[in-house]
Structure 1
Amino acid sequence: MRAAVLHDLGEKLDVRDDVTVLGPGPGEIRIRVRAAGVCHSDQSARDGGLPQPMPAVLGHEAAGDVLEVGDGIDDLTVGDRVIVNWLPSCGTCAECVRGLPFLCMTHVMTGYAMPRFMAGDLPVFGMAGCGAFAEEMVVPRIGAVRIDDDVPYEVAALVGCGVMTGVGAVVNTAKLRPGETAVVIGCGGVGISAIQGARLSGAAQIVAVDTVPEKLAVARRFGATHAVTPDRLSDLVTEITGGEGFDYAFDVVALPQTLRTAWSAARRGGTVVVVGAGRAEHQVEFNPFELLFEGKSIIPSLYGSAYPPRDFPRLIALWRAGRLDLEGMVSHRLRLEQVDDALGALGRGDVIRQVIVFDPSA
């Protein structure tokens, strides 16, 4: 089968047709990938921002059909349409028992230790244990959520990461209430999803912030009430909040400067939600005085604090009701051979979400 293999950090992906997927073993399923979204996390894994053993098939945001089920699975059958859950929970670790399935690392760590593919004689890992830039992939049973056959693959793929991460940051993590205010820093696919989450939650003011002016017009289309470049944010805080700041500031970029921007934009007693996956070597400075006397909270939102068996169907239901625009987020459809171009285009103003579409007749 075909897959895009990253041999070493920073290199171009090697699209080749001699790749085979390993498994499925007991409790696993094999999926024919129909659509795979291109996420900033894929770029980060390629460039070393996220840890990833090499060589690897990148990609983790995907939807497809079940091709084969391993022993011990009786609730999925060949042909079922599924969304990939790239952060499956084991159900038994300390985090799962505490009700924090999105912090479970059991299957992710297995993915770091166990190759998922063979490229000729070369063992190849899958990003986060997945590897969606391939025609087929194998995941644990909990790593797939069945959906109805009428849900388009492209729509379903977006739910698997970007939409879940952004909407979940607002709905699950922040639990934003009607009438509260929010600022979203970074207007790519996850940021646009956070804006939609704030709109769904009834936010009175939703401010979008991005350095790329073209993205600001897109943000307004998806529900932002205001949209500014970072240099204009301070003036806007004064203009619409009297200088008080916003109830929630969502940092979807996770650079030191964007986290400080989010902190400054949040009101006293407000909350900064870290949504983006930053680099481990980056450092952000806060002094003890401001941490105490401004009373603000900084909270993480990994994968939108998701429990995908519960949350994916909810997001699909919102899409069916016309309250969550997913088709409009697909800005470009690409072939697997164009994956390097897609990774290079992630910061462009006309890009919301790029989707690699695999041959539906395969």
Structure 2
Amino acid sequence: MQVRLEKLSSWLKQESIDAAFLTSTANVFYLSGFLCHPHERLLGLFVFPEAEPLLICPQMEVKQAKNAGWSYEILGYDDTQNPWEMIRDALTSRKIQPNGVRTLAVEKDHLSYRRAELLMSILPGVRFISAEDQMHQLRMIKDSKEIGIMREAARLADYGVEVGFSALKEGVTEMEVVAVIEKELKQKGIQSMAFSTMVLFGEKSGLPHGIPGNRRLQEGDLVLFDLGVVLEGYCSDITRTVAYRSAGEQQREIYETVLQAQLSALDACKPGTPIGELDKTARKLIEKAGYGKYFPHRVGHGLGIEVHEYPSLTSTNTQPLQPGMTFTVEPGIYVEGVGGVRIEDDVMITEEGCEILTNFSKELLIIR
């Protein structure tokens, strides 16, 4: 964590920014090792160009912050105290006068208007600068420890798909299969899923972000699984699609098209490739097969502390792939009344090419 703090401090110094104040759970965790979901309460981390950082959190979380390895100052407050006044006093005690913080890097996409007003009340005349781009750049390249955790998270996602396949039987509901998957993963020690587990049958598989319900499984249904776990603060994300008992000609055609599009995009995953080429590669193949209008989303997204983070794998992203980047590759085709197919893997760029972290079979499986 010290190296990460030093990188942010160096950026502040280089850009002549007086301080950074980060309030998102993800960025605080990245810089401190302390994972906290404070609900409506304030969680914040001050980082300075020269001075030691300062963590602000609810008093009930102070011990957890220390247990996570945070060795710098912590401002813990209870529900009757005003944390903003405590921040002002703490800065003053460090001989940082309120009017001495003229520029403050914040997460503009996260900081609420109300909290911005409160910051301005204790830092008169402060000017806000975006911290997002710098934090995205820092978090986008994973270190060996992060990659090790993500490998294990991907293995558990593979297991979740295996459990889901085993739970398929005629008449079972989508939600019943979701329950089986999540129960088995909890028994493996997983405390939370990376997002709401998706199990969609038949025509509902044609909804890219469909919501599982009481739809019952029938012969001839496509079944789409999209799930991921959170392990030690890092996410995995996998999608597989199978057919139940039989698959029609169009279903097979759609599946094969998506599979070839995904494999082609994976082949392009190597250092130096412009990120947009992955989307273009998959999209070109799907368009050639006549299903272009049925592929409505980007080919993938960054993956790490958050299930959706940088880089964004859109066709317009010209940034080159770099070793240590982790992201998903997940083309899909969704046809109303027929169903949908999406195949998604977690990928890490290496010095030579890429490592695919999720390894569950991608052949078209007919579940009997």
Same fold (TM over 0.5): no
Structure with bigger gyration radius: 2
Larger relative strand fraction: 1
Q: TM-score, normalised by structure 1?
A: 0.29
Q: TM-score, normalised by structure 2?
A: 0.29
Determine which structure has greater relative contact order: mean sequence separation of CA pairs < 8 Å that are 6+ residues apart, divided by chain length: 1
